Amino acid sequence: MQRITTAKEILKINRDLRNNGARIGFVPTMGALHNGHLSLVKRAKSENDAVVCSIFVNPTQFNEPTDFQRYPRNLEKDAELLESVECDYLFAPTASEIYPIPDQTHYELGSVSEELEGKHRPGHFNGVASVVKRLFEIVKPDRAYFGLKDYQQYLVIKNLVENYNLPVEVIGCPIIRSEEGLAMSSRNELLGKTEAEHALKLNESLKRAQKLIEEGKPTQEVESTISKDLSSQGVDLEYFEIRNAGDLSKPDNSSQSLVALVAARFGKIRLIDNMNLTSN
């Protein structure tokens, strides 16, 4: 695996690969890699000739300075993990490499960026759009792979690609969970043992919501039931909502494709999760 730190280096590699007719898969990350990230690299390896994984903790998408400072960083360990799944290139740029000048753009991302995480983390998705667009411009991938644990982010990035005519196919990949059911996240390593056990209630609540929807319960009733249950169990809940899977609009009785999304805090750590539901 070759390590790269500058846009100039990766642009040269891109030209060489293109001259040989290679297709490039890209996995953008903020590091603190886990099996979820590695599953994205494996998928990219299976569908492309070369794979680039970026590691960059993007300051523009953090609402809380302490969250940015606390975000786990271990580049050497991450590099070893990428080696283990035969990633071809690790792109680990500095902030000045990604943002040689501040990006003041207000990105048009559609109403999907204004819901849920958009309400709770103002400016977050604009920061995501800024770094993803810049990375796409540098890496110039054919395909980019994103975990569906960040489901709303996946939809926002699809809108970014469509609205700005970016020549990248955006591929969403299934959530990878621990044996206990906790959705894998870089922030999980910041959880204490008790907090990690408590966080399992998120997946439990999603599975219960799925069962209730399959039984024909109205979506608003399911939202209310699950939210009350989580709060009664001491979960510091920010939201539990059921939305249309395509655009995160609020469902009506004719909705067929639904997703439940949840966000909560466990100590100082904020976690999100989601699950596709079946509505008949």
pLDDT in tens, 84-134: 999 999 999 999 999 999 999 999 999 999 999 999 999 999 999 999 999
Rounded to an integer, what distance in angstroms lies between the CA atom of residue 187 and that of residue 120?
A: 18
Q: How far apart are CA 143 and CA 48, in angstroms?
A: 8
The CATH number of the domain covering residues in 186-273: 3.30.1300.10
Instruction: Return mean pLDDT, the chain.
Output: 95
Residue 169: per-residue pLDDT: 98
H-run or E-run covering 242? strand 236-244
Query: Of 269, 248, 270, 267, which Cα lies nearest the Cα of 259?
Result: 248
Under the banding of pLDDT at 50, 70 and 90, the label for residue 278 is low
Q: Which of 250, 232, 279, 8 is nearest to 139 (CA)?
A: 8
Where are the domain boundaries for CATH 3.40.50.620 in the chain? Answer: 2-173
Residues of the chain within CATH 3.30.1300.10 domain(s) are 186-273
Cite the active site residues: 37
**Is residue 190 over pLDDT 70?**
yes
Q: What is the pLDDT of residue 90?
A: 98
- Per the DSSP assignment, residues forming a β-bridge with 54 are 28, 91
User: Is residue 22 within 8 Å of 135, Cβ to Cβ?
Assistant: no
Which pair of structure tokens corresponds to residue 77?
Answer: 């360990």
CATH of the domain spanning 2-173: 3.40.50.620
